[in-house]
Each structure stands twice: as C-alpha cells, then as structure tokens.
Structure 1
Amino acid sequence: MKVRKYAAIDIGSNAIRLLTHNVIEEEGKETLFRKSALVRLPIRLGEDVFKNGGISQRNEERLLSAMKAFKLLMEVHGVEKYMACATSAMREAQNGLEVIHNLYEASGVEIQLIDGKREASIIASTDLKKLIRKEESYLYIDVGGGSTEFTVFTEGKIKISQSFKIGTVRLLNDMVSEELWQELENWLKKNVKGLPNLSIIGSGGNINKLHKMSGRKEGESLSYIWLKAQYHFLTSLTYEERISELGLNPDRADVIIPATQIFVSSAKWIGAKKIHVPKIGLSDGIIKTLYQSDN
C-alpha cells in the first residue's frame, strides 16, 4: 500500500479553502481518495472586486497571510503536490494578475487563474460520474460567490456547460440584473428541453449546509418542495436570528439565502423535483486532476 498526499487551494469570491487528501494506492484495488483536512477562511474578495473593480490592500494582505499559512500546513501534512486555482473575483479584478504575482513572490504559492469552462471541467473530473446514471438527465449547479456554473448531463455525458455571473456575493450587493436572470432561465429551458428523468446535482458550501440542516442522511436527496419551504423560512428570519437560532456562521448566514434562491429558481424552471447533494466541488476536482496528471 502507498499513501500519497495532495492538496487543493480554491480562491473563491466568498471564501478560500485548503483541502488535503490522502490518496491510497493498493495493487489490484481501486485508488481511494480520503479527505484529511479542510481549512476555510472567509476572505470575501467578491465584495472588493464587484463593488470597486479590484482587490484592496487589506484583502491582499489577508490573502498573503493565508497563503503563507497554507504553505506551512501543506509542509506539516507532507503534501507532495498541490494546485491553487482562483476563480470569478480574481478573474475580474483589475489588479488580479498583479496580486497573484505578489502572492507568489512573497509566499512561493503559485496560483492559476481559471475561467468558468475550466472550472466546470475540473469539477466534472470528480466522483460525479459515479452518481450519474445513463438513463437519467442532470443539471449540475455549482454556486459560487461571483458566478454559478451550470452543466447539463445526459446519457452519462456532458451536453453543455455555461458560467453565469450570478453568485451569492453579487446577489447580496444587488449586482444581478433581471435581464441576466432571464438569460439564465432561457438558457436552462432551451438546454434541458425534452431530456428524460431530470434532476439537479448541487455543489458548494451552501447546498451542503442546507442538506445538513435538513437532517437527511448522506446520499439522500433534497426535494424541491422542501428547498422552497426552507427558502421562505430562511428569509423570514433576520441575519442575527440565522446566526443565533440556526447556528450559522456569520459569513454563511447571509449568502445562504441567495444560494437557495439560485437552486429553487433553477429547479422551478426545469421542473426538477430532486436535488442530489454529493458534497463535492472545485477542491475535490483539483485533487483528482492532480492525481490524473501523475498517472
């Protein structure tokens, strides 16, 4: 048996994450991927970028502290290979490339700036394929702070994928137009038309939290009816009540509402009754991508 250690850094619009994995190789057996640690930091880059066009000095300093800490944690874990990806907020920041260069110079952490299609393809390399049945169709939705990736699967294959600038941080700051919502609705209806047995696969911290709040077992799907009712319940509470009564973290208590709105609206438009929550995302895809590049 051989145990290898990989790490993924996901620099998103709402938070940044360091995920470490043990990859267990044993002759004659399927390779196993086991999460060993996850660190999430609420550095909300999207608020900087979507409002002001760039990353502030304060958040660049916080990012640098995070990258230095992540590098030390990877050394302690004995990580042999890592990949760091920055998404929507860093893509749109006027000083995004400059910040990436500064971070590399000061911490040694090399960051890749990836677009929406690359993000969707990395996510698709996860264990998603184990969930997908050839006789059914799926809309995969990965909700982020700056954008949401939508991928249509049918007959076990990707039909089409598209990134929309509809994310939780943008919605919180009233930066999503009615025209963009309409564009999304039209795109979804056009690309799922006539597909059989359609359901949603959701990823991102918010849908994972909603699944946990539902009390359902791992692998058990959420219903559209439950999610819609939960959306109305969440919006009936104040931000403070969502923290004190539901036990949500302050940086989750606000974004969970727009995230739920995206899932509920998408399910309504395509007529999906089920939302599967496999608890995978970009970080998991990065780990798989790293491993596949080595083998």
Structure 2
Amino acid sequence: MTKKIAVIDLGTNTFHILIAEISSAGMKVLHTEKISVKIGRGGINDGLITDSAQKRALNALAHFKAKIDEYEEIEIFATATSAIRSAKNGKDLVEKIRHQTSIEVQIISGDLEAQYIYDAVKKGVKLGDETSLIMDIGGGSVEFIICNEQKIFWKESFEIGAQRLLDLFHYHDPILPEEIDNLVLFLTDRLLSLIQACRKYNPTVLVGSSGSFDTFSDIYRLKSGLKKNSEQTELPLSVDSFHKMHIDIISKNKDQRMAIPGMVEMRADMIVVASILVNFIIIRCDLKKVRVSSYSLKEGLLFNILDRLNNR
C-alpha cells in the first residue's frame, strides 16, 4: 500500500513544500519547492504580519495547494514557526489560510521546532559520539541544540532570527562597525543561557542546518572548485573558509554581495547579520569545526510523520 504526503513549512523567510510517496519499499520524493515569502518583513519586531506579507503568504500557499492537487489521495501536514507564532494576528492568518486553501496549519512551539531540527540533522549528518552544537537560523527564531547521535543534552529556541536582527541593527550597507558592535552586545545578552550551556557541555563542532548555511557552503564550494552532488545531505564548509567569507560579506553592500559566486537573491539581505551571528557563536563557544546539513525542519517533520504512520 502506498501513501502520499505533503509537508509544508511556513517559515519566516521561506515557505517550503515536500511531497513524498511512502510505500513498503521506502520513501520517494515527488516534489520539493521553496518560495521566498518573507512574512516577517515590515512587522516582525512589532508582533504583526503586514497585509502585504499576508498576501504573499496566501499566494504561496495557493500555489502549493495547486501542486498538491495534482496528486490523488494526499495527506497534508503544515507547520508555522516564529513569525506566525509570535504575531498578534498569526492565528488570523492561519484561519485565512484554512478558509482560502483548506490547508490546516499547526503553529508549533520553539521547543518542538528544535526537536524536529535535531531529528532531521542527525539523519543528514553522522553526528557520532562527539558533542555538537546544531544551529538553525530562521528569519524569526534561531534554534540551538547541544547533542550527539544518541541524545540531546540541551536545546532552546531564541526569537533572534535574521529578519529581526536585520530590522534592529543593519541600517547601513555595508553595515557599519558600530552596528556590528551593537549586534554583538545584543547577542551577548540574549544568548547568555547558550553560552553557559556550551561551557557545561563543551561542544566542539558547529552543525549548521540548511538556510544561510546552504549559501555559506555554496560560496565555499564554488571558490574551492568542488562539484555539487544533489544526493549529498552533508555539505562542505570549514571554519577557516567561513572566517574569510565573513570578513568579505560584512565589508560589501548588497550589489557587491550579489556578485559573490554562490550568493542568491533571497539571502543577500539577511546574510550579513546571519554571518555575524555564526561568527559570534564560533568564537564564544570555541568551536573547532563546522559541518552543514541540507536537512532541516521540513525533513524532521517528515521523519516524525513517517514514525507516526508506521506506528498506527
């Protein structure tokens, strides 16, 4: 017996869809797609999803629903994260989505989001016994998980995503040194519990989960002349290459960043604050190695759905 499922991740920056067919032979991915919706733009730090952002969200989900309708007897699982979770009108948007597309969206907690990310990353990257710090940079929140292959030692979700940081600190382009200093002071205060956890558990490896880390890896790969393998779930990156990339990124304006091989339009604005955040974490947590997982929230949600289906 085969079953088709569609997994939709309503992120703050990007909406993702993954459609898969499940059978006794395993899982076959039928379709994946992402749309840059940026529902946090213009209102995330005020706890609002603007009218224009809601329109972009509804248009993206109408497109996803049309794609889903190409398949027969398909079950839909949709989750919303930080921007919708924290917005005063987030539940109103979820109701509009249900009314206009018949897609039922579950707003998940930051803690559950971190759990799904861990479940995804440990399938994409062989974590082994060494203690790693998984980091997922969203537009609204950033999830951190200190773990190894067997267990989670500590996890927390912080509402300091790239759209929030962009709006709060990145006023000039290139970003000014004093804006960087202000951002670092902000991170020092907000991430105190993470720094304390890193001192306790002593992770040595940073594992980036998709998103901005995909772009960092693509820049590194193209600069190093490495071929891209679409089957790979672990992507190349090194600490030294990231540090060089970081210095380059924060010194450029948007047009100059777009000229970097591997940069994509949807990341060009937020990559500056994302890079500062990653650099801060590497230094403050004294991390010696960087790895990148192509798996993130949507894959974690998919794996959990499969477990539930198998246990029915």
**TM class, shorter-length:** 0.7 to 0.9
Q: Deviations over 1:210-258 (max 9, x none)?
A: 1122115653642222111101111222201222453633321111222
What TM-score results when the alignment is normalised by the length of structure 1? 0.88
Q: Of 272, 276, 281, which aligns to 1:266?
A: 281
1:198 partner letter = T
The Cα shift of 1:260 comes to: 1.9
1:118 partner letter = L
CA distance in 2 between counterparts of 1:77 and 1:241 reads 42
The Cα shift of 1:125 comes to: 2.3
The within-5 A match list for 1:13-28 is 13-23=12-22, 25-26=24-25
Q: Which residue of 2 aligns with 1:203?
A: 209
> 2:19 is paired with a residue of what secondary structure?
strand
Q: Which residue of 2 aligns with 1:250?
A: 265
Q: Which moved more, 1:243-252 or 1:108-117?
A: 243-252
Q: Which residue of 1 aligns with 2:176?
A: none
> Relative to 1, partners in 2 of residues 1:163 and 1:292: Cα closer, same or farther, differing over 3 Å?
same
> 1:173 is paired with a residue of what secondary structure?
helix
CA distance in 1 between counterparts of 2:189 and 2:96 reads 37
1:252 partner letter = R
1:189 partner letter = I
Q: Which residue of 1 aligns with 2:91?
A: 97
Q: Which moved more, 1:122-131 or 1:152-161?
A: 122-131
> Relative to 1, partners in 2 of residues 1:233 and 1:58: Cα closer, same or farther, differing over 3 Å?
same
2:220 partner letter = S
1:97 partner letter = K
The Cα shift of 1:20 comes to: 2.1
Q: Of 26, 31, 34, which aligns to 1:37?
A: 31
Q: Which residue of 2 aligns with 1:86?
A: 80
The Cα shift of 1:130 comes to: 6.5
1:207 partner letter = F
Q: Which residue of 1 aligns with 2:65?
A: 71
Q: CA RMSD in A?
A: 2.4
Q: Deviations over 1:67-113 (max 9, x none)?
A: 22111101214462221111111011111111111210111011011
> Relative to 1, partners in 2 of residues 1:222 and 1:79: Cα closer, same or farther, differing over 3 Å?
farther
Q: Of 79, 93, 107, which aligns to 2:101?
A: 107
Question: Contact 1:132–1:156 at 8 Å: present in 2 too?
Answer: no
Whether 2:114 is the aligned partner of 1:120: answer yes
Q: Which residue of 1 aligns with 2:245?
A: 230
Could you list the runs of 5+ residues in structure 2 that have no partner in the other structure? Answer: 170-181
Could you list the runs of 5+ residues in structure 1 that have no partner in the other structure? Answer: none
> Relative to 1, partners in 2 of residues 1:225 and 1:8: Cα closer, same or farther, differing over 3 Å?
same
> Relative to 1, partners in 2 of residues 1:133 and 1:209: Cα closer, same or farther, differing over 3 Å?
closer
2:291 partner letter = H
Question: Contact 2:136–2:211 at 8 Å: present in 1 too?
Answer: no
> Relative to 1, partners in 2 of residues 1:248 and 1:221: Cα closer, same or farther, differing over 3 Å?
closer
CA distance in 2 between counterparts of 1:164 and 1:49 reads 18
Q: Which residue of 1 aligns with 2:192?
A: 186
Q: How much identity, in percent, do the aligned residues show?
A: 25
1:163 partner letter = S
> 1:16 is paired with a residue of what secondary structure?
strand
1:212 partner letter = D
Question: Contact 1:82–1:290 at 8 Å: present in 2 too?
Answer: no
The Cα shift of 1:64 comes to: 1.7
Whether 2:145 is the aligned partner of 1:151: answer yes
Q: Which residue of 2 aligns with 1:285?
A: 300
The Cα shift of 1:185 comes to: 4.5
Q: Which moved more, 1:120-129 or 1:40-49?
A: 120-129
Question: Contact 2:219–2:263 at 8 Å: present in 1 too?
Answer: no
CA distance in 2 between counterparts of 1:293 and 1:84 reads 15
